[in-house]
Chain A
Amino acid sequence: MELVLDRWLHILAGITWIGLLYYFNFVQVPGLGQAKADGTAAGITKHIAPRALLWFRWAAAATWITGAYYLIRFPGHSFMDAFTLQGGSAYIGIGAWLGTIMLFNVWVLIWPNQKKVLGIVGASDEEKAKAGRVALLASRTNTMLSIPMLFFMITGTQAHGAGIFG
Protein backbone atom coordinates (compact mmCIF):
# COMPACT_ATOMS: atom_id res chain seq x y z
CA MET A 1 0.00 0.00 0.00
CA GLU A 2 2.82 2.35 0.90
CA LEU A 3 4.40 1.89 -2.53
CA VAL A 4 1.09 2.36 -4.32
CA LEU A 5 0.64 5.69 -2.52
CA ASP A 6 4.23 6.65 -3.32
CA ARG A 7 3.80 5.79 -7.00
CA TRP A 8 0.50 7.71 -7.09
CA LEU A 9 2.16 10.79 -5.57
CA HIS A 10 5.11 10.39 -7.95
CA ILE A 11 2.81 10.45 -10.97
CA LEU A 12 0.70 13.35 -9.61
CA ALA A 13 3.83 15.42 -8.93
CA GLY A 14 5.33 14.42 -12.27
CA ILE A 15 2.22 15.51 -14.19
CA THR A 16 2.30 18.85 -12.34
CA TRP A 17 6.02 19.32 -13.10
CA ILE A 18 6.07 18.28 -16.73
CA GLY A 19 2.66 19.84 -17.41
CA LEU A 20 3.98 23.21 -16.26
CA LEU A 21 7.22 22.65 -18.20
CA TYR A 22 5.17 22.17 -21.37
CA TYR A 23 3.01 25.17 -20.45
CA PHE A 24 6.13 27.36 -20.20
CA ASN A 25 7.59 26.11 -23.49
CA PHE A 26 4.51 25.69 -25.65
CA VAL A 27 2.29 28.49 -24.27
CA GLN A 28 3.92 31.10 -22.04
CA VAL A 29 7.19 31.81 -23.88
CA PRO A 30 5.58 32.24 -27.32
CA GLY A 31 2.64 34.14 -25.78
CA LEU A 32 4.94 36.43 -23.78
CA GLY A 33 6.69 37.49 -26.96
CA GLN A 34 3.37 38.69 -28.39
CA ALA A 35 2.29 40.21 -25.06
CA LYS A 36 5.48 42.29 -24.90
CA ALA A 37 4.73 43.62 -28.37
CA ASP A 38 1.31 44.98 -27.34
CA GLY A 39 2.28 46.02 -23.80
CA THR A 40 0.33 43.39 -21.85
CA ALA A 41 3.22 41.27 -20.60
CA ALA A 42 3.11 42.57 -17.02
CA GLY A 43 0.05 40.49 -16.18
CA ILE A 44 1.94 37.33 -17.07
CA THR A 45 5.31 38.22 -15.52
CA LYS A 46 3.79 39.62 -12.33
CA HIS A 47 0.87 37.31 -11.61
CA ILE A 48 1.14 34.10 -13.65
CA ALA A 49 4.83 33.23 -14.01
CA PRO A 50 5.83 33.43 -10.30
CA ARG A 51 2.88 31.24 -9.30
CA ALA A 52 3.58 28.73 -12.08
CA LEU A 53 7.29 28.62 -11.11
CA LEU A 54 6.39 27.96 -7.46
CA TRP A 55 4.37 24.87 -8.36
CA PHE A 56 6.92 23.91 -11.03
CA ARG A 57 10.01 23.77 -8.83
CA TRP A 58 8.37 22.11 -5.83
CA ALA A 59 6.61 19.56 -8.04
CA ALA A 60 10.04 18.78 -9.51
CA ALA A 61 11.45 18.17 -6.03
CA ALA A 62 8.45 16.05 -5.00
CA THR A 63 8.70 13.98 -8.19
CA TRP A 64 12.38 13.20 -7.58
CA ILE A 65 11.91 12.37 -3.88
CA THR A 66 8.95 10.04 -4.45
CA GLY A 67 10.78 8.41 -7.38
CA ALA A 68 13.91 7.86 -5.31
CA TYR A 69 11.81 6.37 -2.50
CA TYR A 70 10.21 3.98 -4.98
CA LEU A 71 13.59 2.79 -6.25
CA ILE A 72 14.82 2.27 -2.69
CA ARG A 73 11.75 0.39 -1.44
CA PHE A 74 10.34 -1.49 -4.43
CA PRO A 75 11.33 -5.18 -4.47
CA GLY A 76 13.39 -5.92 -7.56
CA HIS A 77 14.63 -2.36 -7.90
CA SER A 78 17.62 -0.73 -6.28
CA PHE A 79 18.55 2.94 -6.08
CA MET A 80 22.23 2.13 -6.59
CA ASP A 81 21.54 -0.31 -9.43
CA ALA A 82 19.38 2.29 -11.16
CA PHE A 83 22.02 5.02 -11.04
CA THR A 84 24.81 2.63 -12.04
CA LEU A 85 22.57 1.13 -14.79
CA GLN A 86 22.83 -2.39 -13.38
CA GLY A 87 20.46 -5.37 -13.31
CA GLY A 88 16.69 -5.00 -13.51
CA SER A 89 16.92 -1.31 -12.59
CA ALA A 90 19.13 -0.42 -15.58
CA TYR A 91 16.37 0.81 -17.91
CA ILE A 92 14.49 2.86 -15.36
CA GLY A 93 17.93 4.10 -14.29
CA ILE A 94 18.27 5.94 -17.59
CA GLY A 95 14.97 7.67 -16.81
CA ALA A 96 16.17 8.37 -13.27
CA TRP A 97 19.38 9.97 -14.56
CA LEU A 98 17.44 12.13 -17.04
CA GLY A 99 15.00 13.18 -14.29
CA THR A 100 17.91 14.03 -11.99
CA ILE A 101 19.56 16.20 -14.65
CA MET A 102 16.20 17.91 -15.16
CA LEU A 103 15.82 18.54 -11.41
CA PHE A 104 19.31 20.09 -11.40
CA ASN A 105 18.31 22.35 -14.31
CA VAL A 106 15.17 23.47 -12.47
CA TRP A 107 16.83 24.44 -9.19
CA VAL A 108 20.30 25.52 -10.37
CA LEU A 109 19.65 27.09 -13.78
CA ILE A 110 15.97 27.89 -14.36
CA TRP A 111 14.77 29.21 -10.98
CA PRO A 112 17.77 31.44 -10.07
CA ASN A 113 17.79 32.97 -13.56
CA GLN A 114 14.01 33.40 -13.68
CA LYS A 115 14.23 35.33 -10.40
CA LYS A 116 16.42 37.87 -12.22
CA VAL A 117 14.18 37.96 -15.30
CA LEU A 118 11.00 38.50 -13.26
CA GLY A 119 12.59 41.12 -10.97
CA ILE A 120 12.31 39.00 -7.82
CA VAL A 121 16.02 39.75 -7.28
CA GLY A 122 17.81 42.82 -8.59
CA ALA A 123 19.62 42.64 -11.94
CA SER A 124 20.73 45.02 -14.69
CA ASP A 125 19.11 44.86 -18.13
CA GLU A 126 22.21 43.08 -19.44
CA GLU A 127 22.09 40.52 -16.62
CA LYS A 128 18.38 39.99 -17.21
CA ALA A 129 18.96 39.33 -20.91
CA LYS A 130 21.71 36.80 -20.15
CA ALA A 131 19.61 35.17 -17.42
CA GLY A 132 16.66 34.89 -19.79
CA ARG A 133 18.78 33.09 -22.37
CA VAL A 134 20.19 30.63 -19.81
CA ALA A 135 16.72 29.95 -18.36
CA LEU A 136 15.22 29.43 -21.82
CA LEU A 137 17.91 26.98 -22.93
CA ALA A 138 17.70 25.06 -19.64
CA SER A 139 13.92 24.88 -19.98
CA ARG A 140 14.17 23.74 -23.61
CA THR A 141 16.80 21.17 -22.58
CA ASN A 142 14.37 19.82 -20.00
CA THR A 143 11.59 19.65 -22.59
CA MET A 144 13.92 17.66 -24.87
CA LEU A 145 15.03 15.36 -22.02
CA SER A 146 11.44 14.80 -20.86
CA ILE A 147 10.73 12.80 -24.05
CA PRO A 148 13.25 9.97 -23.45
CA MET A 149 12.78 10.34 -19.66
CA LEU A 150 9.09 9.45 -19.94
CA PHE A 151 9.87 6.62 -22.37
CA PHE A 152 12.26 4.98 -19.91
CA MET A 153 9.97 5.64 -16.94
CA ILE A 154 6.99 3.89 -18.51
CA THR A 155 8.99 1.04 -20.05
CA GLY A 156 11.64 0.63 -17.36
CA THR A 157 9.42 -0.88 -14.71
CA GLN A 158 8.16 -3.65 -16.98
CA ALA A 159 10.96 -3.90 -19.52
CA HIS A 160 11.32 -7.66 -19.25
CA GLY A 161 7.64 -8.58 -19.33
CA ALA A 162 6.88 -6.23 -22.19
CA GLY A 163 9.89 -7.42 -24.16
CA ILE A 164 10.66 -3.87 -25.22
CA PHE A 165 14.42 -4.18 -24.83
CA GLY A 166 16.14 -6.91 -26.88
Chain B
Amino acid sequence: MKNPLDSIWGTIISGLVLTVILYVFASGFLTT
Protein backbone atom coordinates (compact mmCIF):
# COMPACT_ATOMS: atom_id res chain seq x y z
CA MET B 1 0.00 0.00 0.00
CA LYS B 2 1.31 3.42 -0.96
CA ASN B 3 2.12 5.87 1.82
CA PRO B 4 -0.44 8.71 1.56
CA LEU B 5 2.23 11.17 2.74
CA ASP B 6 4.13 10.60 -0.51
CA SER B 7 1.66 12.84 -2.31
CA ILE B 8 0.45 16.33 -1.44
CA TRP B 9 -3.21 15.44 -1.86
CA GLY B 10 -2.77 12.28 0.22
CA THR B 11 -1.26 14.45 2.94
CA ILE B 12 -4.11 16.98 2.84
CA ILE B 13 -6.82 14.31 2.82
CA SER B 14 -5.09 12.52 5.74
CA GLY B 15 -5.11 15.80 7.65
CA LEU B 16 -8.81 16.33 7.01
CA VAL B 17 -9.62 12.75 8.08
CA LEU B 18 -7.52 13.19 11.24
CA THR B 19 -9.40 16.43 11.98
CA VAL B 20 -12.74 14.58 11.84
CA ILE B 21 -11.41 11.75 14.04
CA LEU B 22 -10.09 14.17 16.66
CA TYR B 23 -13.30 16.21 16.53
CA VAL B 24 -15.37 13.08 17.24
CA PHE B 25 -12.97 12.18 20.06
CA ALA B 26 -13.15 15.68 21.55
CA SER B 27 -16.94 15.90 21.28
CA GLY B 28 -17.60 12.44 22.68
CA PHE B 29 -14.91 11.75 25.22
CA LEU B 30 -13.55 14.98 26.66
CA THR B 31 -15.29 16.41 29.69
CA THR B 32 -14.98 20.14 30.15
Interfacial residues, chain A to chain B (CB-CB below 8 A): 25-26, 30, 85, 87-88, 90-91, 94, 137, 140-141, 143-148, 151-152, 159-160, 165-166
8 Å CB interface, B1-32 against A? 3, 5-6, 8, 11-12, 14-16, 18-19, 22-23, 26-28, 30-32
User: B6, B19, B30: which contacts A147 (Cβ < 8 A)?
Assistant: B19
Chain A's interface: helix, strand, loop or mixed, by majority? helix
Q: A91-B30, A146-B15, A151-B19 are in contact. List 19 more A-B contacts (CB 8 A).
A: A25-B8, A25-B11, A85-B30, A90-B31, A90-B32, A91-B26, A94-B22, A137-B5, A140-B6, A143-B12, A144-B15, A147-B18, A147-B19, A148-B15, A148-B18, A148-B23, A151-B23, A152-B22, A166-B27
Closest beta carbon of chain A to B21's beta carbon, Å: 8
Q: How far is the CB of B16 from chain A (nearest CB, A)?
A: 6
Q: Interface of B with A (CB < 8 Å)? A: 3, 5-6, 8, 11-12, 14-16, 18-19, 22-23, 26-28, 30-32
21 CB contacts below 8 A, A to B, read A25-B11, A26-B8, A85-B30, A90-B30, A90-B31, A91-B30, A140-B6, A143-B12, A143-B15, A144-B12, A146-B15, A147-B19, A148-B18, A148-B22, A148-B23, A151-B22, A165-B26, A165-B30, A165-B32, A166-B27, A166-B28
Q: Which residues of A contact B30 (CB under 8 A)?
A: 85, 90-91, 165
Shortest Cβ distance from A91 into B: residue: B26
Q: With A and B bound together, what is the CA distance between A6 and B12 in angstroms?
A: 30
Question: Considering the complex of A and B, which 4 residue pairs feature the smallest CB-CB distances, nearest first?
Answer: A147-B15, A140-B5, A148-B19, A144-B15
Closest Cβ neighbor of B16 among chain A residues: A147
Complex CA–CA separation, A143 to B11 (angstroms): 7
